[in-house]
Amino acid sequence: MKDLSYGNEGRLILKFAIPMLLGNVFQQLYNVVDSVVVGKYIGKGALAAVGTSSPIVFLLISFIIGVTMGFTIVVSQYFGAKQFDNVRKAINTLYIVMFFTSLVVTVGGIMLSGYIFRLIDLDPAIVPDAMLFLNIYLAGLIFLFGYNGTSAILRGLGDSKTPLYFLIGSVGLNIMLDLIFVPVFHWGVPGVAIATVISEACAFFLLIIYLNRYHKVVKFSFRDLKYDHEIFKKSIKIGLPTGFQQTFVAAGMVALYWIVNQHGIDANAAYSAAGRIDSFASMPAMSFAVALSTFVGQNMGANRPDRVKAGLRATLIMTGVFSLFISLITVLFGRILMRMFTDDPVVISLGGDYLRIIGSFYIFFSVMFVINGLLRGAGDTLIPMFISLFSLWIIRIPVAYFLSQKEVMGVDGIWWSIPVGWFTGMILYYIYYRMGYWKKKAVVKYSAEVK
């Protein structure tokens, strides 16, 4: 556990963010290895099937991810205020909520999977593989929720290193199983999904065993779990808007796939593969934003709002450096990176164009995400939800649909809509941050109002 309410702001955020950044890199290796294996050993149809399943999974779990963030902020603010009994109550309540919601999402997702793929006009030749992958993945959702929920709790307590160690082992296991189940056993797309579920289950169980033996605060036991309705209400108040925001983002990803699908399997495969590379490029901003959220949560809980602006300034500088470096790599070497996933020249060309276009504007994404992280850490999530809704559904999706028409720009128009949405969100988040309402949203209240 790490108290972030004292010490140099930039150094604290950097030390906290780096393990999360490494963890996110390894987390994304799940998806990248899956895509590389199916693209190289099965074909571009399987690559499109696995790639299309990913935003569907995100759509189904995004709301719970957002709600979990609410619990994380509550944990971090109680920890900053040294209210350890409330920290334990929040952790227990989160575990109970995750257990039951994972069951609901699993059953509902399996029942609706076929309908969802028909809704986005996925090529009928791809649907069987996509459904197999999605349904197997959903069957192991409780392990994904368990591991990610536990990791989120630890981050709220200032510990970003412990989840990383178990994640590295899990990714290594996933790579090994992928290379056994697909090239050796010839299980195809289902083998990739089975490998992922087994890896996630191992990560969760081993992390729980470790924490039960060595951690002072986080203990997992079904017998000792107790639900606290008051903490649940506080967490939901913060997490509900974030959950809706995540859902809007996930639905936007699915909507973009619907637009991409109008241009055929090649465009789908290119978007799926380039999206894997894009997910790596966005990790620094996402990791630093989460680090800033925890930093802000603990400092607001400790009644130290004076440190928040310094933390934001340091985070923007660090993410800006990362963004410029990543932009250079993706713009110059996009087509080379695409060759990891496929040898198809059309898919490589389309994916290379995607990386060249959006790779030039990662700085917009970074600023947008970091400011959103500050607002979330302060407990201010309602207005950011509406900003996300506006920039995605009022700007990006309509722009993508219009520009993607053959008589306008075609497939490239879809790619250009993404930085347009980022720029809009960045400007709106900055304006709202400058208005200062976030200063009054802390869970832990003090007699003197935060200025």
Q: How many CA atoms lie within 13 A of 98 on its CB side?
A: 31
CA distance 326 to 385: 27
- What's the pLDDT tens digit per position in 388-445? 889 999 999 999 999 999 889 999 999 999 999 999 999 999 999 999 888 887 665 5
- What's the pLDDT tens digit per position in 308-358? 899 999 999 999 999 999 999 999 999 999 998 888 899 999 999 999 999
Structure-block tokens of residue 202: 């191992």
Q: How far is CA 344 from CA 40, 195, 294, 402, in A?
A: 10, 26, 43, 28
How is the chain split into domains, by residue range? 9-440
CB 391 within 8 Å of CB 425: yes
pTM over 0.75: no
**Helices and strands counted in the chain (H then E):** 16, 0
- What's the pLDDT tens digit per position in 140-172? 999 988 888 888 888 777 787 888 888 889 888
Q: Is the pLDDT of residue 211 over 70?
A: yes
- What's the pLDDT tens digit per position in 10-24? 889 998 888 888 877
